[in-house]
Structure formats: C-alpha cells, structure tokens
Structure 1
Amino acid sequence: MDIFIVNVALPTIKKDLHATDADIQLVIAGYLLGYAVFLITGARAGDYYGRKKVYVISMCCFTLASLLCGIAQTPLQLNAGRALQGVSAAFMVPQSLAYIQMLFPDQSARARALGFYGSVAGVASVIGQFLGGFLPDIHFSNELFSHLDGWRLIFLINVPLGIVAVYNACQHLKEHKLLKTGSFDVSGVVLGSMALLGLIYPLIRGRELGWPLWSLVLLGSSFLLLYLFVKNQQVKMKRGVPVLIDFKLFYYADFRIGLFIALFYFIAQDSYFLITGLMLQDGLHVSSSETGLLFVFQGLGYVLGAVGSLVLIKKYGKKVIQMAVLLMMVSLLLHVFLFSAAKVDWYLSYPLLLMYGVGCGAVLPSIMSLALQRIPADLAGSASGLYSTIQQAAVALGIGLTGGVFFSFLSEGASKTDFVNAYMGATALNVLALIGVLFFLYRLPEGGKGEDA
C-alpha cells in the first residue's frame, strides 16, 4: 500500500515542499532504490538470523522511517526517510513470501496462497489510492494541528499500523530452523548491492542532469560489478560456500521466464500511476481527492481481476494472462484518446480505469504464482528475494525511463497539449513493455515443467 498511497499525493507534496521534478521521482524511486538494492540481502538474512527476528526488527525500522517522512520539512529529508523505508521493506517483505512457501508445502495450496497474497495487494491498492487522494485535501482548523499538512498523514498512518504488526508478529509468528552451516555472504551482498545501485541511481538522476560523466561511469561500472557478482557466486557454489543467490533456481524454467515477465510488467505498472496522477492533477487540474476516487476504480478492477483469474487460469491456463495484458494495452491507448479530447468525459474515465485494473489484477498475482509455485521450501528465501529484487528494480527502472520521457516534454508553465504529448510518449513506452510481457508469456510452457533436463 505504501507506493499506491504516495502516487496520488505527489503533486500536493511537490507544491508544499517546493520540490523539483527529480525530487518527486525520487519520492517513489528512492524508496524503490533502497528496496531493490537490499532485497536479496534481506531474504538471505531471514535464512541465517531468523525470519521472525528479521521481520520484527525491519517492521520497527519501517515504522520509524514513516514517522521521519511524516515530519520532513525539505525534499531531502523526505527522500532520506523514503530510502530508509525502502531498506526496511527489503528486509521485511521477503520474510512474508518465505513464510508462505514454508506454511504451504503443497504446490496447489501454495498457488492459492500466493494468489490470495496478490489479491490482498489489490485491496491495499484500493485503500492506498483512496487515502492518497483524500488525505492531502484535509486541512485542520484547530490551531494545534494547523501546520499539519494532510499529505503527512499518508506516512504517519503507518505508525499505529506498524506497532500493531510488530505486536501480532511477536505473538503469533513462529521462528523457522536457522541455517547453521557457513557464514553470511558479505562479499556477495557488497557486489550485488553496488551493481544495483550503480544501475538504478544514474537512470533516475542522469536524464535531468544531462547525463553527466559520473552517471555514465556508474552505468558502465554496474555491468562490470554484476559480472563480478555472478562469477563470485559461481565460484562459491563450486567450493560449497554459502551464497546470496542459489543458481539452482535457474534450473526451473518457469522461474527463469517468470523473472523476465516480471521485469517488463513492472516497468509499466507503477510508472502508469506516476504519469496518470500527474496528468490528472497538473495537466487536467483534477483535485487530489477526485484523482484518488478515480484510482479507486482501478483498484476495484484489480480485485475483480485477481479473484476472477484464480478460477479462469485453472481452466484456460496462460491464455487468461495473455488476454489480460492485451486488455491493459487497449485501455492505455483509450486513456490517451480520453485525455486528449477537447472536453474530457469523466463518466467514461471510471469504466476505463476499472478495465485497466481488471487487466492488472489478472496479471500481477498470476505471474508471481507462475514464477514461485514450483520452488522447493529450501530455496524459498533466495527465490522470493530474487523475484522481489527484479520486481522493484523494474519499477524503479520504469519510474526513471517512463517518468523521464514524460518530464522531457514539459517545462515551466506547460499547457494541456504539452501534458497530453508527454502522456502519449510515456504511454508508448509502457505499451512496448507490455509487448515484452506477451512475448515471454508465449515462451512459457503451457504446463510449466518443473526443471530443465
């Protein structure tokens, strides 16, 4: 919910903190950067130090980071808090996925559990998008709270929720058997984290700064570091030393292809919320609460798509996901026609966002289930960490690339036509990403063999 609730509030935050376009991109991308860089580390930390212990500590850190975001007075302070939120989430989320792998060893039961997990994400998106639009429009008349801007509540609301989550985890979660052999892969953590940081950060900041030399050097070095990371892991596996990524995961064809599907899908998903929220509020002058209400229909569609796909995929297989991706593509093209009209028909916007949401809901939990459902429990931590890393890195990549295309069309005092052109260019990039999803879905075996020969 944390990403969804922020998306709609971005224009309000930008005005209140006098932030730049790059600052606003980093409100999302900074969170994702901390998330993606430490996800694999977080997953393996749960294996070595205890999933319950790591979950509780990271939830406490996330709650503290949310408080810091809520009281931030400058864009730098806000983005520092967001980065800390992302790092905390990187250690927290893989434990949730790993617990699903542990608690549901049966493949069919695990698939249902993962589908339910994805459906819960849909409910969270509905709540998050509504609150993200509603809370920024709140203005307190009481003198004590007169300086408390409504958008701050989207972060402060995490504080009581975090306290409740920590209490319930301490009371009800059971610790799993720890890995006692070997030591934690520190060199793998350093190389992997530096490679991801070197790739994602310059993609976010480089465009606005005119691609200075340091950004190009970082991009080039990230590929070298990634190569060294892979070699480091392969050598350690041959020596029988514990590694950050267990390459046995890549024996599973559906997991390999599922990572590519996730990469292209998540490039499109969250960048859609960024550019659509900015288009509605800054381009078409729709209020924050009205924008939140529009996105609620997208969230409702997500829930309908997620629930319906659980039944349909059993009968029709991956064809359901392919049709859902096509539905998303058609919906994106209709978005462009709707927003470019001389007079926007808002009655058409509600079913249009609902349609897009149905497509998202049928795709997102299904591709996660396809990628993870055959992974054995002993590889659960590594698999969930790698999948989530690809997911969040793809979201950050989408924010950097698609958001970069969007902002490249805009300047101070941009007109509606400028915003429409920006939206059209950015949406074209998202459609290309969804074409990539279709390609890899086509490559995915219908029955999905567990392992390659």
Structure 2
Amino acid sequence: MNSQRLKWFSLVIVSSSVFLAVIDIFIVNVAIPSIRKGIQGSESDIQLVIALYLLGYAAFLITGGRLGDFYGKKRVFIMAMLLFTLTSFLCGISQTAWQLNTARFVQGVSAAFMIPQGIAYVHVLFPDHKDRIKALGIYGSIAGAASVIGQFLGGILPDIHGAIEGWRLLFLINLPIGFISVILAARYLQDTPVTGTGQFDYSGVALLTLALIGLIYPLIRGRELGWPLWSLASILGAIALLFIFVFDQQRKLGRGGNPLINIQLFSYKDFNIGLCAVLFYFMVQDSYFLINAIFLQTGLGHSSSDAGILFVFQGVGYVVASVLSISLVKKYGKRVLQAGVLIMITSLLLHIYVFSAITVSRTALLFTLFFYGMGCGSVLPSLLTMAMKSIPMQFAGAASGTFSTFQQTAVALGVGITGGIFFSVLDNESGTSAYLGAYQAATWVNILFLVLVSFFLYKLPEDNRQTVLLAG
C-alpha cells in the first residue's frame, strides 16, 4: 500500500474509535427501557447506565490525551481499544445492574483514552492544511453517522428474540469492530514519538475523578433512597474537592509543573461564558433522549424498534442542519446558534403539545422530532468554536480538552437532574397520564436550560471571524 493510500486507510482505523464511542451513547439512550427490564434495574440504575459511561469519559478525557504524549499514541490507542472491546463484552454478559454499571464506567474510561489519540493522529497523518480539513470532515461525518446508526440500532436490536437477549446485542456488536480495529492498528498505524515531559499529574486525575463521581452519583442515587445523609455529604465533599483541585492545579502551574488543566484558560472571560453555554446545552442533550425513550416506550406503548425509527428522524434533522450551519456560521456568526436554540425551545413546546393530544399524530410527531434535530444541528457543530474563539492558539489543545471534559460532565449532570425530576414526578405511578405529567415537568426544565443557553450566547461578543480550534 503506497503512502497516500495508507494515510487515508489509517484515518478509517482511528475513526473507529469515535464511531464506537458515539454509537455507545446513542444506542443505549433509545434502548433504556429494554435494558432496565433485562437487568431488572431501578430508575436510578438506568440513569447510571448513561451517566457512568459519560462520567468515566469526562474524568479521563484530558488524561487520555496526556497519556498519548507520554507513552505513544499507537500504544495507547491499541490498549484503549482492547479495553473498550473487553468492557463491551462485560456489559453484554452482565446479570445485575451493579455489574453493568461498573463495566459501563470502565468502558467510558477506555473511550476517553482512545478518542484523543484518534484526533491527534489526524494531525500526524495530514500535515497539509487542506488534507487535514478534509480528514477532519470525514472524522466528524463518521461521528455524526454513528449517532444516527446508534439511534436506529438502539430501537431494532432489543426487539430481536433468540438465544441472546436483544438488549445484550447493543454491546456485543462492538466486539468485531473493536478486534478488527486492534489488528489493523497494530499492522498499519505508524508509531508516534513520545513528546510528554516532566511528571504526569496523577494526583490531579485522582482529585478530579473523585470530585465528579462524588457529585454525580448521589444526585442520581440519592433521590431514590430518600436523600440519606451520605448523599448530601458526598455532594458537599465533591464541591470541596473541586476547590482543592483548582488550588492544586494553580500551585503546579506556578511551580512550572504539568497540571492536568491549564488554569490560565479561565482568565479569558469569553471562554468562561462559552463554558456556561456548553454546560446548560449539554444538560439537555442526553436527558432529552432519556425521558423521550421512556415516555414513548413505557408511557405510550411504542415498541423499541418503532421508537428507534422515530429517533432517526431527529438524527436526520441534525445531519441536515449541521451541514448547512457550518457555512452559515461563517457569515452570520453566533446568530445561527441563537436561532438553533430558539428552534429547540419551540420544538420542545411542540413536544408537549403533540404528546398532550388525545391521539398522538404520527406525522406531527415525526415533524417535531425532525425540527428538534434541526435545532441541535444548528448549535452543536459550532459551539466549540464559539466557546474558544478568544483563546490563543497555543492554548487550543488544552482548551479543547477542557471543553470536552465539561461537555461530558454536563451530560451526566443533565441525566441526573432532568431524569431525577422525571422520576420524582412519576413517583412509581403507572399509566399514560402519569408519564405525561412527568414528561412535561422534565421537558419544562430542559426548556429553562435552553433559555439559559440563549442568554449566555447573547453575552458572547459578536464576532463573525471563525477560527477552527481542534485538539492536537
């Protein structure tokens, strides 16, 4: 294989990491009711199936990028892909909620180790700017396709009845992709030089991980247990650990060390405003799928496969808008994102209206889901750029890693808060009216979050000059 073909083939290999990582978010979102039935789990158990994956992802994403610098990107990519494949197998054979959620957390950690290597390889393989932009477009398209495929498979696979329960296939389908990727990576990926210097920030990793777990876990589990003393103490302890983490990072930076997060980033006001927009946007991201999947399947009685097909319309709307928004943002700047948020808010109001009808119109539902996807597609592709447009290029990699960590943590928080409100209002009741009331309450919370997103986008200074900042 000549060098030109090899680098594009290598792009396909490293893109398998983002394909698997993204598909495992969306495939589970749609299939949550089937998973709950399969493991006989509680309400908080199924919230944790989503949140713990994202928590492991968030806590170790920056660490994953740094490990590639210290030990070589090829080695870390292969080991992370192996771990992801193994934990997918463990998820697929889990017998209890505890087993599944433990495996899901480690699966998220392995995703955090392999994703940064894939992004970094794009820069290694394509030093030419035009080729790199094309490669990043392909990489992003694969991630977008994974979200749509995940929603479709998340609906179809649980309805398969055979020797293996359908919901287990959600995880077991990762095995052939993972093993093939490992074999091809070992054979074709080029080694990269070790660039990490100094001592790795293990204490920073420990502090951040403990703080995030201490915050997210009791938010989800505490409600179901009646908010015992340990859950409140854990939340307060997590907040204290976050302050200690910030102080620890400042001290290491002042001593010329290698902190996990460069605290200098937070001296840029626009970056802080952008992170606030990111926080509230991603608190809506997966909580939307959680409450809609449960309401459609358990509340309205749709089959898993039908729910998956419905969600595909949302995914198609996202893809269409994301393609259009990239060129529109260059011309109109943040106004495109503001319009996208307005579309999302309008669509959520339509969700409430359509589901409140005595007979839910399928045509109206498909339009509403597609419309919501259009809103998401107008916001998400450019939110990273908006949050980081004031950051100097030398901080771009650190800012991107911080953004991604913030993003995944926000998603886990949204699942805990909005999902918690949904189940609190539901209060173990059954029947369509009970589920409708819970759905409406949770959706109003998501609308409030989107109003806050709109506010923080308004606070960002107007600047149509868009600079693409990507993690290296």
Q: TM-score, normalised by structure 1?
A: 0.91
Distance 1:282 1:373, change over 3 A: same
Could you tell me how far apart the structure 1 residues matched to 2:132 and 2:448 are?
32
Q: CA deviation at 1:175?
A: 4.1
1:121 maps to 143
In structure 2, the partner of 1:183 is 199
What corresponds to 1:70 in structure 2?
Answer: 92
Moved more, 171-180 or 273-282: 171-180
For structure 1, which segment, 276-285 or 342-351, has the greater mean C-alpha deviation from structure 2 after superposition?
Answer: 342-351
Name the CA shift for 1:266/1:100 in 2 (closer, same or farther; >3 Å): farther
TM-superposition CA deviations, 1:266-325 (whole Å, max 9, x none): 100100000000000000000000000000000101100110111111111111111011
Q: Structure 1 stretch 255-264 or stretch 67-76: which is displaced more?
A: 255-264
Q: Report how far residue 173 of structure 1 moved.
A: 3.8
1:358-387 deviations in whole A, cap 9, x for unaligned?
Answer: 111121121123345776776455333321
Tell me which amino acid in the other structure corresponds to 1:433: F
Partners of 2:389 and 2:173 in 1: how far apart?
A: 33
CA–CA distance in structure 2, aligned partners of residues 150 and 417 of structure 1? 29
Aligned to 2:108: 86
Query: What count of residue pairs does the alignment treat as equivalent?
Result: 444
For structure 2, list consecutive stretches of 5 or more residues without a partner in the other structure.
1-22, 468-472
Residues 240 and 260 of structure 1: is their aligned pair in 2 closer, same or farther, counting only changes over 3 Å?
same
Q: 1:34 to 1:128 in 2, by over 3 A?
A: same
8 Å CA contact retained: 2:316, 2:373: yes
Moved more, 364-373 or 256-265: 364-373
Q: Distance in 1 between matches of 2:421 and 2:196?
A: 48
Q: Distance in 1 between matches of 2:127 and 2:266?
A: 20
Give CA-to-partner distance per residue, 1:339-365, whole Å, 9 cap, x none.
111111111111110111111112112
Corresponding residue SS for 1:290: helix
Deviation at 1:47, TM superposition (A): 2.4
| Range that drifts further, 42-51 or 74-83 | 42-51
* Residue type of the alignment partner of 1:78: L
RMSD of equivalent CA atoms: 2.4
**Equivalence for 1:267:** 283
Output the amino acid matched with 1:242. Answer: N
Which residue identity does 1:220 align to in structure 2? L
Map of 1:4-403 to 2, 5 A cutoff?
Answer: 4-100=26-122, 117-140=139-162, 146=163, 148-250=164-266, 254-371=270-387, 379=395, 381-403=397-419
Contact 1:298 1:357 in 2 (8 A): yes
Please state whether the residue corresponding to 1:73 is helix, strand or coil: coil
- Residues of 1 paired with 2:180 and 2:382: CA distance? 30
When structure 1 is superposed on structure 2, of 282-291 and 250-259 the one drifting more is 250-259
Deviation, 1:83, is: 1.2
Q: 2:5 — aligned with what?
A: none
CA shift at 1:40, angstroms? 2.4
User: Do 1:265 and 1:434's aligned partners in 2 also have CA atoms closer than 8 Å?
Assistant: yes
Structure 1 residue 210 displacement after superposition: 1.3
SS in 2 for 1:343: coil
Aligned to 1:422: 438
Structure 1, 90-99 or 193-202: larger mean CA deviation: 90-99
Distance 2:396 2:378 in 1: 24
User: Given that residues 114 and 368 in structure 1 are in contact (C-alpha distance below 8 angstroms), is that contact kept between their aligned partners in structure 2?
Assistant: no
Take 1:268 and 1:116, find their aligned partners in 2: how far apart are those partners? Answer: 27
**Percentage identity across paired residues of the two chains:** 57
Verify the 8 A CA contact 1:406 1:425 in the aligned structure 2.
yes
Give the Cα–Cα distance (whole angstroms) in 1 for the partners of residues 457 and 137 of structure 2: 18
Gapped runs of 5+ residues in structure 1? 141-145
Following the alignment from structure 2 to structure 1, what is the Cα–Cα distance between the partners of residues 131 and 225? Answer: 49
Aligned pair in 2 of structure 1 residues 248, 50: CA closer, same or farther (>3 Å)?
farther
Of 411-420 and 303-312, the range deviating more from structure 2: 411-420
